[in-house]
Amino acid sequence: MLSSKTALVTGSSSGIGQAIAEELGNQGADVTVNYRSNEAGATSTRDAIINSGQDAIAVQADISDWTDASELVARTRGELGDIDVLVNNAGIFPRHSWTEMERPDWDRVLDVNLGGLFNMSKLVVPEMVGRGDGAVINLSSTWALQGGLDNAAYTASKGGIVAVTRQMCHEFAANGIRVNAISPGAIKTAMNETLREDQEYIERVVESVPAERFGTPEDIGHVAAFLASDRAAYIHGQNIVVDGGLTA
């Protein structure tokens, strides 16, 4: 499905990003695995992709830093080739209520979750426009649609991702660039592992999901691989909600 494609997945050393990177590899893409601090996870992801028969590299970079982001893109182009698929997945999720949150907390979340998307897209999309082809997939969240407790900055950043996805669609669809978002619901990842130690939390979430289970990172990886492929050629500017029916 993605034969001869090169993909760059930010924040792909664990969780949803890891599952997306590995599934893109399974579908025939060469992949750059990006990480900020989890080198072991990135190496594991890279090795899994190589074992599937594709080329892969692991590159450390803080995508909220322009210099780091530039070096990440340059290494991908130098070692794997032109970037056909950009997945803006990297993000942080500190929990702060409105009363607890300070301005630096707010700024850091938006700088990573939205600022990182800006950096990567500014660096990659012009090349796609020049070729007249490419796919950008931005990871949002169902919390952008319904909010949540103690996550004001995170919710704001994810809502911004949905909005900027639609804006990018307006600007780049005519150039052959597909820009879409994915909004996962309750997915089992390291990010919510501590919460899932609370049995009452698990029961409350499962009761609210018509599918009666948490999703898996692989559930998101399958959707991302489809959106990255030519099979999604007429899908532009959409926010694909993958939540087991939660927001229904």
DSSP string of 52-89, one letter each residue:
TT--EEEEE--TTSHHHHHHHHHHHHHHT-S--EEEE-
Q: Tally the residues of the chain.
A: 248
Q: Residue 210: name the closest of 247, 237, 159 by CA.
A: 247
Q: Is 201 designated active site?
A: no
Contact between 29 and 36 under an 8 Å Cβ cutoff? The reply is no
Contact between 143 and 150 under an 8 Å Cβ cutoff? The reply is no
Query: From the candidates 35, 154, 201, 234, which is the catalytic residue?
Result: 154
Contact between 96 and 153 under an 8 Å Cβ cutoff? The reply is yes
d(CA 115, CA 70): 13
Q: How many CA atoms lie within 13 A of 15 on its CB side?
A: 20
d(CA 194, CA 175): 43
Q: Which residues are catalytic?
A: 154
